[in-house]
Amino acid sequence: MKMNQTILSYTEDCIRYQFNNKTFLLEALTHKSFCILENRIIPHNERFEFLGDAILGLIMAEQLMFLFPQDNEGMLSKKRASLINQETLAEKALAMKLSEFLILGPGEKAQGSHLKPRILASALEAIIGAIYLDSNFDTVKQWINDEFKNNISEIKPDLEYEKDYKTRLQELTYKIKIGTPIYELVSTTGPSHDPEFLVALKIGTHEKARASGKSKKIAEQKAAQIYIDELAVLMKAQLNHENNNKQKVKLGKTNVK
């Protein structure tokens, strides 16, 4: 299995790491569906993915331990999960253009699997494993810290982090029967290593809020929070109006007597 040297160099530019051993990069990009076609055994990226997942989890855990010394194990686990979930990793893989370089079997290609979040996230973890094997722990740690610094900076240190605004909004809109929230990606701006995602929140065809963030998930949570706050104001105003009407009715009945 070979890849054009120009493509390899471009891939390295996109991920911002130059491999000493190019076969590590090739293996990290090779999905197991490609290997099924060959009569001989060809390495694919699942072993690198296994290694990269462990390294990423360790480094994020260490970062969070130092950044949030007041947090217990449960809170730290939640914060780490938000940093390295499939959606976040897939977005980073897309920003690095990994979807353009994945080596897939024809069946997976036909299904557009190069854009599937699971495959993209796995490829990014495989890249992390490959960088570690090609260099050392300090190098891969620095690479991860550089790539995730914006995500880490957006994590809140207080209990606000525990609030899942999307879930709360879903429950609220169901309760007051106004429709189901829909989140649409409006645009992605900024350089590939530091993208900004703009998301619109809609109820039916009506846009209710917009928000941006370093990941779609963060932007969606922000948009949900904005709309929850707006609904709270509207519901409070409506409640005050109803209470005033009730008071007027009571006064009217008193006057009649």
Q: Is 38 among the residues known to form the active site? A: no
Report how far apart, in Å, the C-alpha atoms of 52 and of each of 8, 46, 49, 96 are. 20, 10, 5, 17
The amino acid occupying position 255 is: N
Token match 């080596």: residue? 103
Catalytic residue among 27, 49, 53, 220: 53
Q: Is 53 among the residues known to form the active site? A: yes
Catalytic residue among 125, 134, 147, 220: 125
Of 112, 143, 100, 106, nearest to 125 by C-alpha is 143
**DSSP H helical ranges for the chain:** 5-15, 22-29, 32-35, 46-67, 73-83, 86-95, 106-110, 117-134, 137-153, 165-175, 216-256
List active site positions: 53, 125
